[in-house]
Amino acid sequence: MKTQYYTATSVDGYLADEDDSLEWLFQFGEVEEIEGVSDDHARFVDQVGALAMGSTTYEWLIEHEALLENPEEWPYDVPAWVFSTRELPAVAGADIRFVQGDVAPVYADMVKAANGGNVWLVGGGDLAGQFHDVGLLDEIVLSVAPVTLASGAPLLPRRITDPPLKLVDVEKQGDAFAVLTYEVQTVR
């Protein structure tokens, strides 16, 4: 079981542009259509037993997929924790647990619900950073897209230098993406 932050990023380290948009990423197509990416993404998701996301990611999903009107389009079939300080609308029929505060007290419930599967930190960068801060992040998997954004939502707004991340895999996917997998070196 691993806790993994798996996301797409620009070369200069942004998840979304200054308007919280992912249009820069969609020029490459939906993940299921991108050559070399779709199979790896499917394998990754098959190993996920629970996931967590912040409110901005959740709200983007609701809007982008029109999930309140089309709840059957909720993309996950595992329990999801949404970290937010605000009250957010629930997607009908989805196993979503709204929580706030520190990630550490919620983590045991996530691991139990994952039932041996991995815990996926969908986004954003600050939430992944909170897991790192308390030693609960095992791996960072980055699909690096060949664009720069110059500003926006940072990949991981944390300073991680000692110990540094350990590069464990590099893979070229299609003509556009490089996938970098880093092991997080922490003492639990």
For residue 47, what are the CA distances in angstroms to 60, 72, 147? 24, 22, 29
* CATH number for the domain that contains residue 71: 3.40.430.10
Give a yes or no: residue 110 inside a domain: yes
Q: What are the start-end ranges of the E strands in the chain?
A: 3-10, 14-16, 48-54, 80-83, 96-99, 118-123, 139-145, 153-154, 166-173, 177-183
Give a yes or no: residue 188 inside a domain: no
Q: Which residues contact 63 (CB under 8 A, 6 or more apart)?
A: none
The pLDDT, as a whole number, for residue 47 is 95
Domain with 91, as residue range(s), is 3-183
CA–CA separation, 137 vs 109, rounded Å? 15
Give a yes or no: residue 166 inside a domain: yes
Task: Please tell me the total count of domains within the chain.
Answer: 1
**How many CB atoms lie under 10 A from the CB of residue 74?**
18
Nearest to 124 by CA among 46, 40, 7, 19: 7
Tens digits of pLDDT across the chain (188 residues): 999 999 999 999 999 999 988 999 988 876 555 555 567 778 889 999 999 999 999 999 999 999 999 999 999 999 999 999 999 999 999 999 999 999 999 999 999 999 999 999 999 999 999 999 999 999 999 999 999 999 999 999 999 998 999 999 999 988 889 999 999 997 54
